[in-house]
Amino acid sequence: MKYAIPIPILIITVYLLTNIIVPYTFRGNIIFLIDALLWTIPIAATILITKLTQTTMRRTDKTLIQLAAIIAVFQVFLAVFTAFFMGFGKNANVWTPSTLTIYFPYLLVPFLAIELSRAYLAQSASKNKPTLQILLISLFLTFISTTIPRYLDLIAPLAISEFLIKTFIPALAISLLATYLAYLGGFPANLAYMAIPAFLTWFSPILPNPPWAAQSMLTVTAATAGFLLLDQAVKPLPTRRTRRTLRKQKSQLPFWTAITMIGLIAVWSSTGLLGFTPSIIASGSMRPALDVGDIAVTVQTRPEIIKVGDIIQYWRQGEPAPIIHRVIETYKSGGTTYFVTKGDANNAPDDPITPTQTVGKLIITIPKLGWISIYLKTAVTTAASFLQNNVTATYATIGLIFTYSAFRIHKYRNQPLRKLRRRIGR
Host domain of residue 318: 295-366
Residue 425, SS3 per DSSP: coil
Q: Long-range pairs for 124-130 at CB < 8 Å and ≥24 separation?
A: 124/1, 124/3, 124/4, 124/53, 124/55, 125/183, 127/416, 127/417, 127/418, 128/416, 129/413, 129/414, 130/183, 130/413, 130/414
Asked if residue 164 and residue 137 are part of one domain, the reply reads: yes
> Are 317 and 303 in contact, with CB atoms under 8 Å apart?
no
Residue-level pLDDT at 54: 75
192 and 255: one domain?
yes
Does residue 30 sit within a domain? no
Are 191 and 140 contained in the same domain?
Answer: yes
CATH of the domain at 344: 2.30.30
Q: What is the pLDDT of residue 201?
A: 87
pLDDT at 376: 66
Same domain, 231 and 327: no
Residue 222 resides in a domain: yes
What's the pLDDT score for residue 161?
Answer: 59
Helix (H, G, I), strand (E, B) or coil at 13: helix
Same domain for 325 and 236, yes or no, is no
Considering the domain boundaries, does residue 34 fall inside one?
Answer: no
**Does residue 162 lie in a domain region?**
yes
Cis peptide before 188 (omega within 30 of 0): no
Predicted pLDDT of residue 215? 76
| 403 in the same domain as 325 | no
- One digit per residue, the tens of pLDDT, for the chain of length 426 reads 445 568 888 888 888 888 878 888 888 888 888 999 999 999 998 888 888 877 776 666 677 888 888 889 888 888 887 777 677 777 777 677 777 778 888 889 999 999 999 998 888 876 666 777 888 898 899 888 776 555 555 554 555 656 777 778 788 889 988 998 888 888 998 999 999 999 888 888 788 887 776 777 778 778 878 877 776 665 543 344 444 444 444 444 565 556 555 555 555 555 555 567 788 888 899 999 999 888 888 888 888 889 999 999 998 887 777 899 999 999 988 888 999 999 999 999 999 999 888 888 998 888 887 777 667 667 766 766 665 566 566 656 666 665 665 565 555 544 444 444 454 444
How many domains does the chain fold into?
A: 2
pLDDT at 238: 38
Q: Is the dihedral of CA 265, 268, 274, 275 positive or negative?
A: positive
pTM of the model: 0.60
Domain-embedded: residue 414 = yes
Residues 73 and 149 occupy one common structural domain? yes
In terms of domains, do 66 and 178 share one?
A: yes
Looking at the fold, whether 386 and 362 belong to one and the same domain comes out as no
> Is 182 domain-assigned?
yes
Please tell me whether residues 197 and 312 are part of one structural domain. no
> How far is residue 135's CA from residue 233's CA, in Å, rounded to a whole number?
21
**pLDDT confidence of residue 342:** 94
pLDDT of residue 265: 55
The predicted structure's pLDDT at residue 59? 61
Q: How many CB atoms lie within 10 A of CB 278?
A: 16
pLDDT of residue 144: 84
Q: Is residue 159 part of a domain?
A: yes
Q: Are residues 228 and 332 in the same domain?
A: no
Residues 226 and 131 in one domain: yes
Indicate whether 194 belongs to any domain: yes
Q: What is the pLDDT of residue 424?
A: 45
| Predicted pLDDT of residue 301 | 85
Q: What pLDDT does 240 receive?
A: 44
